[in-house]
Amino acid sequence: MSKDTYQKAKEIILNEEEIADFVGGHPDGLISLAEEKLGLKFTGLYLDYLQTFGAGNFGAQEIYGIINADFKNSSVPDAIWYTLTERKEINLPVNLLVIYDTGSDELFCLDFNQSDDNGEPNVVSFVPGVDLENQTYEIIANDFGDFLLDLVKQEI
């Protein structure tokens, strides 16, 4: 099921060029570099997103990914830079990758410790400023595909 939602989201993004603004897909070498920096392994749907789109905006929705190899001096929508920064500043757990900022009090993250039946990481909510032992890690979407399709649908 999840692959279908991701494919559908991908199709919509590719068809709605006028509101899609992405940096463009990345080679495996750069993706491996990002994985090394984070100590995480990207698979399945999010990996395809990085290979196809990289990072960017669809309408008002900013979906974090990889911009380039400079993970130290970057800015949103760079998921690698943002995640590394949050690890330093708010003790973000190492199993989380920030992929979306709600603009209110939550960050949405891929949780590499929780996954669906296909091994796809769940998308969970992390609330900066709340102690780690009090975080609920509410599941926002089963996987990146469901999450992306939801965002994309809000824009069309």
pLDDT (mean) for 116-121: 90
Distance CA 153, CA 149 (A): 6
Query: Does residue 125 sit in helix, strand or coil?
Result: strand
Distance CA 6, CA 106 (A): 23
β-sheet bridge partners, residue 22: 56
Q: What's the chain's average pLDDT?
A: 96
Residue in the block written with tokens 């995480």: 40
pLDDT (mean) for 82-91: 96
Distance CA 112, CA 120 (A): 8
pLDDT at position 2 is 65
Query: Does residue 103 sit in helix, strand or coil?
Result: coil
Residue 6 has pLDDT above 80, yes or no: yes
Q: What is the pLDDT of residues 34-63, one digit of tens each?
A: 999 999 999 899 999 999 999 999 999 999
Residue 117 has pLDDT above 80, yes or no: yes
User: What is the per-residue burial (b if ≥16 Cβ within 10 Å, else e) of 28-59?
Assistant: eebbebbbeebebebebbbebbbbebbbbebe
pTM of the full structure: 0.96
Residue 1 has pLDDT above 60, yes or no: no
pLDDT at position 14 is 97
Which tokens sit at 32?
A: 């491996």
Residue 118 has pLDDT above 90, yes or no: no
Pairing of strands 121-126, 107-115: antiparallel
